[in-house]
Amino acid sequence: MIKLTDLFFTIALSSCTGALVGLPVILMGDWDIFPNLMKSAFVGMITGITVRVAFTFFYRNLKNSSILPFVIFFIIIAGGTCGGACILGLRNVLYHLIITGLAELTGMLMAITGYNYYIKLNKSLEKIQKRFK
Amino acid sequence: MAIIPITGSRNVELYLKGFLQKLNFDIADFHLYIVEKGQVIPENGLSIVFDETSINSLRSLLENLNGKPKEISADLVMGKKNDSYHPLTYSTICYFFAQGNTVLCRTDAEQYEVNKKLYLLEAELLSRGFLRINKSVIINVIWIAEIIPWFGGKLLLKVKMIKDELEVSRNYVPAFKNFLGL
């Protein structure tokens, strides 16, 4: 179950990420910064919540595979970013590539950082368990 | 000899207080100090400096100083279930938890009521690998199957054998990581 505080955290983090990812393209296109930044944050928020729900689902159901969640995150981020940008009226292929590339880079960096933290925690757990056995 | 544990991290202080009280040490006098490495060493008196790796040697030293044999019952806790009492060894207990004013413990098969306060169990059992992970749960580290980094800086613990998942709340994450040596 997703708690309300977790949801707020996800919304805040993904909105900021969405805004940051959209910023270079908004500047390159010389568009109005504020409304486009808001749209970008909105797309980021939707993608972030989707990834969050997917993570909870895959954690419960596909725990034996460590690669599959990364592949699924990659697809969700790409789909969410491209789809969101299309709905908001972005047609330039180059801008799509830039925005998706940045979103993938940010999202996958977060996922890899999280995975490394997971490995570190569980290795330490193994050590401490040996001490108490 | 009088001993007072001071200037250690919260976990270490709780652990030493519980341990010394069990050995009937008077912790009100200030002749000998036990100081965790990295903390301020008092100028007067005699100080024993230790770190996490030497905590078992410190235990042996304190036991020898006091000369008190270990109690056989020290490994047992009485659990109450349906008006009958069951002696439980600590190693069979996955976690203790509070439900209102009642403290219960969970083994891989059953759940028992325990006639002890959670904060006392926390202090007493740290040396046995039991650690507080939120306001109402103390987990036996041996029974943790997996740690999942969770959202909002929290951690999710999967318990071996049973399907329970317990959350390490944000306030307890630093102490938990410290316990793991991170």
The answer to whether the beta carbons of residues B49 and B80 sit under 8 Å apart is no
pLDDT tens figures, B95-154: 999 998 899 999 988 999 998 899 999 988 988 899 999 999 999 999 999 898 887 788
Residue B130: closest CA among B9, B24, B14, B34:
B14
> Rounded CA gap, A73 and A48, in Å?
10
pLDDT score at A2: 58
pLDDT score at A88: 76
* pLDDT > 90 fraction of chain A, expressed in percent and rounded: 15
The verdict on B60 and B79 lying in the same domain is no
The verdict on B96 and B170 lying in the same domain is yes
Which of B39, B66, B93 is where one domain is finished? B66
Contacting residues of B for A128, CB less than 8 Å apart: 129, 141, 179-181
Which of B43, B66, B89 is where one domain is finished? B66
> Residue range A126-132: average pLDDT?
90
> Rounded CA gap, A34 and A42, in Å?
12
Q: Which of 42-101 (A) contact B at CB < 8 A?
A: 52, 59
pLDDT score at B26: 62
Residue ranges per domain, chain A? 4-132
- Which CATH number is B173's domain given? 2.40.50.1020
- Exposed/middle/buried for A42, CB within 10 Å: 0-12, 13-18, 19+? middle
> Residue range B27-37: average pLDDT?
69
> Which of A7, A122, A133 should one mutate to test binding to chain B, selecting the residue with the greatest count of B CBs within 10 A?
A122
Report the residue of chain B nearest A53, measured CA to CA: B151
pLDDT over 60 (residue A28)? yes
Q: What is the ipTM of this complex?
A: 0.70
pLDDT score at B2: 43
The verdict on B25 and B103 lying in the same domain is no
- Structurally, how many domains does chain B consist of? 2
Report the residue of chain A nearest B141, measured CA to CA: A129
Which of B49, B66, B83 is where one domain is finished? B66
The answer to whether the beta carbons of residues B49 and B9 sit under 8 Å apart is no
Where in the sequence is the domain holding B33, given as residue range(s)? 3-66
The verdict on B129 and B156 lying in the same domain is yes
pLDDT score at A125: 94
Cβ–Cβ below 8 Å for B155 and A124: no
Q: Does A9 touch chain B (CB under 8 A)?
A: yes
pLDDT over 60 (residue B177)? yes
> Rounded CA gap, A80 and A5, in Å?
23
The verdict on B124 and B171 lying in the same domain is yes
> Which of A60, A62, A125 should one mutate to test binding to chain B, selecting the residue with the greatest count of B CBs within 10 A?
A125
Contacting residues of A for B149, CB less than 8 Å apart: 114, 117-118, 121
